[in-house]
Amino acid sequence: MKRVKVGVIGCGNISGVYFKNMCETFEVLEVVACADLVKERAEAKAGEFRGVRAMPVDELLADPDIRIVVNLTIPRAHADVAFAAVKAGKSVHNEKPLTITREEGRKLLKAAKAKRVLVGAAPDTFLGAGIQTCRKLIDDGWIGEPVAATAFMTCHGHESWHPDPEFYYKVGGGPMFDMGPYYLTALVALMGPVKRVTGSARVTFPRRVITSQPKCGTVIKVDVPTHVAGVMDFANGAVGTIITTFDVWAAQLPRIEIYGSEGSLSVPDPNTFGGPVHVMRAGSPWADVPLTHGYAENSRGIGVADMGYSLLSGRRHRASGALAYHVLDVMHAFHDASRDGTHVEVESTCQRPAPLPLGLRKGTLDA
C-alpha cells in the first residue's frame, strides 16, 4: 500500500514506543527522519531504526517528502514546533496537551486550515482495544442511555521516579494537564462533548523534593494546582465527575465508570490500550467482557497512523485537533471555574470520533 513519510521532532523518553510502532507495526507509515535539541538523542534513535536519518529541525521541516511531523517535545514547546510544521506545509501530531493555552490552540487549528493540513494530538489510547470495546457496548445499548460518569486519577506525583520531573509542576503541567487528557479524551470518545463545567483546585504541597536520580535533592517550586476536582455537564445530558491529583498517597477507586439507565460499565485505565472491561446490567452481577477490538498492547502512534489513512483517503481522522482542543478547553475551564467560583460554559465542541471497525488486521486501521 502507499505509505506516508513521517519525521519525528523530540527523541526523549516517550519517543521509543512511537518509533517502534510507527516503524514496525503500522504499515501506512514510513519514518524517515528525526531531530532533537540534543543531537546525540536523535542520532541514537536513527541508529536504532532502519531508514531513519538524524537531522536538524530546519532540515526535517524543509524535506518535501515528509507529510506528517510527530511532535514529541515538552509541553511548552508544542505550539512553536507545531506552528513551524504547519508553516512548512506538514500535518502535525502533537503529544498531549495540544498546546498550553487556548489561544495557541485556536491559532494552530486556524493556521492548519489555511494551509490545508491536519492537526492531531495524543492521547490516542482511546483507539485501543479497551476503550473501543466500551464504545461498542455503549453504542449497542448494553447499559441503556448514559446518565453519569466518574473518573479518578490519583497519585503522589512524579518526583520519586521521573529523571527530570520539574516540568510537571510548571505551567502546562499539573495532574489535569498531564493526565487529564487521557481521561477526558476517553470520556468524550464514549459520551460526546462537554458543554459546561465547574471545579475546585488547590496546591497542597507548594514545594516538592526530587528523590529520583540524577536530580535527587533538588527542590521544585510548584506553580500549578496539584489537586483538581471537576463536574461536567455533557451535551447528551449526562453528568460527569473527575478528580486528578498529585496529592494522594493511595486510593481504591475505579479509573472510569459509565452509569446508564440499564446498567453500569467499568472502563479500563485510559493511559493503557487494553485492560479489563466489566459490565453490570440491571438485576445481574458484574461480568467480564472479552475485548472486541485489536490493539490491546501499547500502541502509541496509532493516532499518527489514523492521520496517515486520512491523508490518503480524505476521511476524517479520529485523534483530531478539534478533539484535542476541546479537551484543552475543558481542562482550562476547570481551573477557571475554581478561580472564579462559577460554572463555565465550554465554548468549543467536537464530534465524537468514529469507532474503529471490527476485525482489523494488525497494522491496519481501515477495513
Band the pLDDT of 367: cuts 50, 70, 90: confident
How many other β-carbons are positioned within 10 Å of the β-carbon of residue 109? 20
Provide the pLDDT for residue 74. 87
Is the CB of residue 325 less than 8 Å from the CB of residue 176? no
- Contacts of residue 256, Cβ cutoff 8 Å, sequence gap at least 6: 149, 150, 151, 152, 183, 186, 187, 266, 267, 270
Residue at 311: amino acid letter: L
Provide the pLDDT for residue 13. 85
pLDDT greater than 90 at residue 344: yes
Provide the pLDDT for residue 201. 98
| Domain boundaries, given as residue ranges, for the chain | 4-121, 130-288
Provide the pLDDT for residue 308. 98
- Does the structural domain 4-121 have CATH classification 3.10.20.600? no
Q: What is the dihedral of CA 344, 134, 362, 313, to 10 degrees?
A: -50
C-alpha cell at 284: 445481574
Homologous superfamily of 130-288: Dihydrodipicolinate Reductase; domain 2 (3.30.360.10)
Nearest Cα to 349, choosing from 182, 235, 242, 241? 235
Between CA 126 and CA 148 the distance in angstroms is: 19
Mean pLDDT of the chain: 97
Three-class SS of residue 104?
helix
Provide the pLDDT for residue 76. 87
Between CA 348 and CA 130 the distance in angstroms is: 27
**Strands 256-260 and 146-154, bridge-based pairing:** antiparallel
- The model's pLDDT over 147-158, given as tens digits with 9 standing for 90+, comes to 999 999 999 999
Band the pLDDT of 146: cuts 50, 70, 90: very high
- The model's pLDDT over 96-128, given as tens digits with 9 standing for 90+, comes to 999 999 999 999 999 999 999 999 999 999 999
Average pLDDT over residues 119-146: 98
Model pTM above 0.85: yes
Is the CB of residue 9 less than 8 Å from the CB of residue 69? yes
